[in-house]
Amino acid sequence: MASVVPVKEKKLMDVKLGELPSWILMRDFTPKGTAGAFQRGYYRYHNKYVNVKRGGVAMVLAAYMLFSYCPCYKELKHQRLCKYH
Amino acid sequence: MNENLFTSFITPTMVGIPIVLLIIMFPSILFPSPSRLIDNRLVSIQQWLVRLTSKQMLSIHSHKGQTWALMLMSLILFIGSTNLLGLLPHSFTPTTQLSMNLGMAIPLWAGTVATGFRYKTKASLAHFLPQGTPFPLIPMLVIIETISLFIQPVALAVRLTANITAGHLLIHLIGGATLTLTSISTITAFITLTVLVLLTILEFAVALIQAYVFTLLVSLYLHDNT
């Protein structure tokens, strides 16, 4: 499973399945690296969906609604449709 | 039903981790910073709104008061967006917590009072006595004005908390009533549904109005003191 290009510098789509654990372990897990990863991810989404001429935040709001359902799940569990409560 | 009514106001925790901070910081994502001369329509609309509001709100202030422009505009944007986001289903509204509103109201009010005392001490002290009061009434009136001064931050915070909490509670109650009435009597359920729709429109208005009132009062206290 040796490859010509070192595993660390490959993009995720080019990494072979067997090399995946070593690729994950080689990522930069320092605080600065993690912050950089979040920043890159945010700007990828922002520039693709929000920062365009007719972009919007509708998807963000929908995701926020779904996300905020999770903490409420415990209180809403008994409102499920069933014959006997 | 009794327990459910107030559970939407508890601070949300997910698998034991409080995510309140994330929820408070979430509205900032919805206001992207303008990077071009002419941006996308979201940023253009926000820029237009901010210019409109700031012109209207800061026109009454002197030069010293206008240094508070950034603070007041970010205040109204924050409270407005937080209140509006709270109208989405299942979402948590930080402004329903008295702790947060006190944390916003007390420092701002104290800032305006401190500015007044520092730069215009005599005029600030003179505010404790309205003009033209009869001489025997002066001690009592000074006490009353002091109390009314100290009640300003509490009133700011409690007004915002109570309005938003009451609106959310009404929506919960009337929505629950509508649901249970559908199996009992459809006409009554329809009437209740109409009430719910009107209430939701009111809540949208209240969300924005409360933000405006909060900021307006802070700017008013500022105007008194600069």
For residue range B29-68, what is the model confidence (pLDDT) as tens digits? 899 888 888 888 889 999 999 999 999 888 888 888 888 8
With contacts defined as CB-CB under 8 Å, which chain B residues touch A50? Answer: 32, 40, 42
Residues 140-179 of B with CB under 8 A from A: none
Q: At A67, which helix (H) or strand (E)? A: helix A58-76
* CA dist., res. B222 & res. B64, Å (int): 10
* CA dist., res. B141 & res. B104, Å (int): 29
CA-based Rg of chain A, rounded to a whole angstrom?
20
pLDDT in tens, B159-182: 999 999 999 998 888 888 888 888
> Which residue is listed with tokens 């920043």?
A39
User: Which residues touch B33 (CB under 8 Å, ≥6 apart)?
Assistant: B43
10-residue mean pLDDT series, chain A (85 residues): 61 74 79 87 86 84 90 80 78
Q: What tokens were used for B170?
A: 């009404």
Calculate the average pLDDT of chain B: 86
ipTM for this prediction: 0.82
B30 and A CB contact within 8 Å: yes
B36 and A CB contact within 8 Å: no
CA nearest B91 in A: which residue? A68
Judged by phi (left if over 0) then psi (alpha if -120 to 50, else beta), residue B115 lies in alpha
For residues B98-116, average pLDDT: 90
A65 and B CB contact within 8 Å: yes
